Chain A
Amino acid sequence: MRCEEIQTMLPAFADEKPVQLGVRRHLARCADCRAELDRYEALAGGLAALATTTAEPPAALLPALVDIPARRTRIEEARSHVARNRKRYLGGLAGAIAVAGAAVALRSRRVAAA
């Protein structure tokens, strides 16, 4: 096998070690391909090591997350308030629309008269 063929396979070797005899023989003989495999192994080790480190979140994040249950409660209370008073809100809305309609009608009548 040629080095180009082997080197296209190397990124997969972190998941599964080469089983083909031809690949293993080539790696045993070829220092360049072994060095390349070594780089991929160092990369895999580095990436795995990242799992043990954490980033420092912004200070505002924790209070925002802790507040989620209270925020949901406030939203639910607002929803149930609207649901309880639906008729009253709808009545108010209908009244507002009627007043606006009357105002428009009055204005068009005045414009027509002028």
Chain B
Amino acid sequence: MADELVERCKQGDEGAWRELVEATYRDVYTLCLRVLGDPDDAVEATQDAYLKAYRGLRGFRGEAMFSTWLYRVATNAAISKHRARTRRRSREAGPGDEVLEQIPARGSVEAAAGAKVEMDRLQEALQALPPLYREAVVLRDVYGLGIEELAKRLEISETAAKVRVHRGRKKLKEMLFSEDEDAV
């Protein structure tokens, strides 16, 4: 299905482009929002990603699945936007409620031995995480990038990538469970 749409897009079929966008843009926007934590930046990164994807379609040979390729383009667009934003603001303000309201994950996830993570609290904690750690944890633990791939995308060493992921996890764990630990 996607392959056929991609082929039609390469021939300049705007209807096929629309179908391709409609099928994928929510996931791409969500990825950008999770990495960047800001809806305006996520919109800009999503637009950059699709612009690059459109330009790069002719070069897409279909070795990877289209969605995998598009995710890669989107991840790079979000990372570039993050770098530009970091240069722009040395300190980032906390997230607005708007971001949290947009992601409708509810309920909780429980580990085998009983520790429980409430999904809305996890979203809050993720948004409050320093951007460098959020970017690494989101790409590694939400989207499943390997450490080698993560290091390549972030243009850092594998050791540095691991350190960011581990520190991010530790901070998240502290944010989510500090109240439980205080109560014990």
Contacts and interface: CB of A to CB of B under 8 A. Distances in A.
Nearest to B119: A46
Contacts of B59: none
B103 A55 contact: yes
A61 B43 contact: yes
Interface string A37-48: 011111111111
Nearest to A41: B111
Contacts of B111: 38-39, 41-42, 45
B112 to A, nearest CB: 7
Q: Which of B21, B46, B47 has the most CB of A within 10 A?
A: B21
13 contacts: A15-B162, A35-B113, A35-B115, A42-B116, A43-B169, A44-B169, A45-B110, A50-B105, A50-B122, A56-B26, A61-B47, A66-B21, A72-B55
Q: Is the interface of B mostly helix, strand, loop or mixed?
A: helix
A12 interface: yes
A113 B110 CA distance: 92
Given A44-B141, A69-B17, A54 B30 contact: yes
A36 B61 CA distance: 46
Nearest to A9: B166
Interface residues on A, range: 35 or more
A51 B105 CA distance: 10
B171 to A, nearest CB: 10
Interface of A: 11-12, 14-15, 34-35, 38-51, 53-58, 61-62, 64-66, 68-70, 72
A14 B141 contact: yes
A55 B26 contact: yes
Contacts of B169: 11, 14, 40, 43-44
B109 interface: yes
B49 to A, nearest CB: 9
Contacts of A15: 147, 162, 165
B102 to A, nearest CB: 4
A68 B165 CA distance: 35
